[in-house]
Amino acid sequence: MARERRGYRMKAVIKKKRTKGMAFVDVPIPKIGPRDVLIKINAASICGTDVHIYDWTRWAQHRFTPPRIIGHEFVGDVVKVGDEVTRVRVGDRVSAESHLTCGYCYQCNNGNSEVCRNFRLLGVDHNGTFAEFLALPEHVLWKNDQDIPDEWATIQEPFGNAVDTVLSEDVSTKTVLILGAGPIGLFAAGIAKACGASLVIISDPNNYRLAISKKMGVHIAVNPRKQDLVQTVLEATHHNGVDVVLEFSGNNQALDQGLKVLIPGGRISVLGIYERRVNIDLNKDVIFKKIRIYGVTGRKIFSTWYKTSRFLSSGLVNPGPIITHQFPLKDYEKGMKLMKDGKCGKVILMIHDEHKRR
């Protein structure tokens, strides 16, 4: 707690105003309540949500209220616990579920806390992880497996998105189309391969990320601006189409193409977020084909975290190729620019200098 003793201040990235941009500032180290813990952040990763907030997009304007420290993906060490904390101790290495749930609404009481009616989102409704210290309630913490290095531990939250999207149903021996090769789509490729998918096809207009997908075991990488995605998928599947579509792009045209190449009786899982209303031929592409659609938000708390931890600690999925850049916290804007330009996979912010790549 050397930093805490030196004036009780810390460095943080904060969205101060309702306009584009953020600020790297000194702010007070957060105080904790009786059921809270104080965490020294070792590493935090940048999510597309953080970029939306930085750019002050239409979504951010309707969802985010400044001032707020942003970020929701992290790994860190517990340095202080409240008087009523019983499950974690000082020195525990933790990450956290980014949906801060109430624990008592209908959804929470029926095992669907990922859609808690009263949830607060870390880095949106609660000060986030782009800071040297973070205060969180004990019940959202996840103790990390010691075999998972910091750079991997910090991506467990988005990795869990991919786990639930892929494993909405079994993918063993199935043919799979992934729409969108952002970091979560790339995680999904590795998960689908680890779970025995017989054919994995990915589509994205970004050649940089398509190259990463090949390192994750994808069989066919398609740039839809240069290739006919529907024709490519049909030729690769003997004109049957794919058994499973995993939609991460949030693009209406990609969704429409995915439904068209999905076999009758197939399954599509949708995590992508759409800026506007989606137009699809519901009769032809869903009802008459008997398609099963799964909407995915967040992760199942905490069952998905167990799966994520085991994928990473066992080596079944190696996310190393997806983690392309690391910067100190003060250089967060470099990471934001790479994200916006599509010239990166996952970007990690190293908060404390003593935590380097292992």
- Whether 97 and 176 map to the same domain: the answer is no
Residues 6+ apart with CB under 8 A from 119: 99, 100, 101, 102, 113
> Which pLDDT belongs to residue 44?
98
Q: Given 49, 154, 165, 304, which residue is catalytic?
A: 49
Report the distance separating Cα 204 and Cα 151, nearest Å. 25
Annotation says 352 is catalytic: no
Residues 6+ apart with CB under 8 A from 21: 54, 56
Report the distance separating Cα 179 and Cα 114, nearest Å. 23
> Which pLDDT belongs to residue 6?
52
> Which pLDDT belongs to residue 4?
47
Q: Given 19, 52, 219, 237, which residue is catalytic?
A: 52
- Whether 151 and 7 map to the same domain: the answer is yes
Q: The CATH number of the domain where 270 resides is what?
A: 3.40.50.720
- Whether 8 and 140 map to the same domain: the answer is yes
Which residue blocks in the chain are alpha helix, DSSP H?
2-5, 48-55, 58-63, 106-109, 150-153, 156-166, 183-194, 207-215, 229-236, 252-261, 282, 303-314, 332-341
- Whether 138 and 257 map to the same domain: the answer is no
Domain that holds residue 276: 162-295
Q: Is residue 166 part of a domain?
A: yes
- Whether 149 and 172 map to the same domain: the answer is no
- Whether 288 and 340 map to the same domain: the answer is no
Annotation says 49 is catalytic: yes
Q: Is residue 311 part of a domain?
A: no
DSSP 287: I
Number of domains, the chain:
2
Q: The CATH number of the domain where 88 resides is what?
A: 3.90.180.10
* φ, ψ (nearest 5 deg) of residue 104: -135, -10
Residues of the chain predicted below pLDDT 70: 1-7, 353-358
Q: How many CA atoms lie within 13 A of 3 on its CB side?
A: 19
> Which pLDDT belongs to residue 352?
80
Please state the pTM of the whole predicted model.
0.95
- Whether 7 and 150 map to the same domain: the answer is yes
- Whether 228 and 109 map to the same domain: the answer is no
- Whether 106 and 192 map to the same domain: the answer is no
> Which pLDDT belongs to residue 13?
98
Report the distance separating Cα 200 and Cα 40, nearest Å. 39
> Which pLDDT belongs to residue 88?
97
Q: Is residue 355 part of a domain?
A: no
SS3 state at 310 = helix
Angle at 148 between CA 92 and CA 52, to 5 degrees: 90
> Which pLDDT belongs to residue 354?
44
Tally the residues of the chain.
358
> Which pLDDT belongs to residue 8?
86
> Which pLDDT belongs to residue 7?
60
